[in-house]
Amino acid sequence: MLDDDPFAPPVKKVLPLAQQLENASIDELLVRIEKLKAEIGQCEQAIQAKRAQRAAADSVFGKPS
């Protein structure tokens, strides 16, 4: 079979979140929290931009029914 590559790296099984958190050190958890906070900030900025776009469209075309 062509899909069987004997030199391919083994596929790593993804651990459930609870187990990932249990196995992580305090420093790893702090880094994870900072990354999540940054991602939340990006999501909040995207929401603000989309709301501004919606408000601009509503001011031109009126609010949808």
Mean pLDDT, rounded, for 42-64: 94
Domain-located, residue 25: yes
| Number of domains the chain is built from | 1
Domain-located, residue 7: no
Domain-located, residue 52: yes
* Tokens (6 digits) for 18: 């609870």
DSSP annotation of 13 = P
Domain-located, residue 36: yes
Mean residue pLDDT of the chain comes to 92
Mean pLDDT, rounded, for 32-54: 98
Domain-located, residue 35: yes
* Range of the structural domain that residue 36 is part of: 17-60
- pLDDT score recorded for residue 44: 98
DSSP annotation of 9 = P
Mean pLDDT, rounded, for 24-49: 98
Rounded distance between C-alpha atoms, residue 53 and residue 32, angstroms:
32
Mean pLDDT, rounded, for 37-59: 97
